Amino acid sequence: MTRIIVITSGKGGVGKTTVSANLGMALAKMGRQIALIDADFGLRNLDLLLGLENRIVYTAVEVLSRECRLEQALVKDKRLPNLVLLPAAQNRSKDAVNPEQMKLLVNALAQKYQYVLIDSPAGIENGFKNAIAPAKEALIVTTPEISAVRDADRVVGLLEAQGVKRVHLIINRIRPAMVRANDMMSVQDVQELLAIPLIGVIPDDERVIVSTNRGEPLVLAETPSVAALAFDNIARRLEGETVDFLDFDSPQDNIFARLRKLLWTKIV
């Protein structure tokens, strides 16, 4: 049974595309067959984060207009060939595709891939409606800011109205020191406001920016990071594993010490 998951938020700039790229790669590392769809027609970015921008020939729009076959538009990742990207068209408006067409694309991909991850555009307009139309599950990405949380809450309601009942929360860019100083909402604060199950917490990490600029998802980096471990843990939870959440209330040194210990145990 293919899992069709939309990654959304309502608010722009909270890290949806970063989550899509890293989560897709983390699942692919586990041997799953992954199809990533960039649903942000007119403003695609998922190809950049994956480092696949130079290999795009056709997009979803050409598939729907029958200018090419679906297989011709899929960009296969060389590092993990079990992951493919269906890119959005940069030179078209968000009205270039409608919800029924998105369902057709996703249903075709679901014949071959175990996960179809849809990277939703910001906002709740046509692009968002396209992205959620074929989805069976949703991951809501928010940062611990009141405006982002309020937008996420609105999206939860829209997903429920669309019949997407399986919804989980990812809190991105948490800064433990700011939480301890009461300058940032805590994980518990966000959970209480949104009242949906938590599946991942990702710390603020400058290496995310570096990996984005290089087109190398953090989960593929040779040097491990806490953020990469957080993405890997989300993938494992999606697979049904019970994985403890990282304790961001502890000093950062302790987190890195536990990470080193965990990695050393795996090596041994």
- Is 10 marked within a binding site? no
- Is 16 marked within a binding site? yes
What tokens does 138 get?
Answer: 């949703």
- Is 261 marked within a binding site? no
DSSP calls for 105-121? HHHHHHTT-SEEEEEPP
- Is 18 marked within a binding site? yes
At position 155, the amino acid (one-letter code) is V
- Is 42 marked within a binding site? no
Q: How far apart are CA 21 and CA 46, in angstroms?
A: 7
User: What is the CB-side half-sphere exposure of residue 52 using CA atoms within 13 A?
Assistant: 29
Q: How far apart are CA 202 and CA 226, in angstroms?
A: 8
Bridge partners (DSSP) of residue 34 are 83, 115
Bridge partners (DSSP) of residue 3 are 115
Please give the order of strands across the beta sheet that includes 83-86.
75-76, 83-86, 34-38, 115-119, 3-8, 137-142, 166-174, 198-203
Q: How far apart are CA 251 and CA 187, in angstroms?
A: 16
The enclosing H or E element of 73 equals: helix 70-73
163 class by beta-carbon count within 10 Å (0-12 exposed, 13-18 middle, 19+ buried):
exposed
- Is 14 marked within a binding site? yes
Q: Which residues are annotated as a binding site?
A: 11-18
Q: Which residues are annotated as a binding site for ATP?
A: 11-18
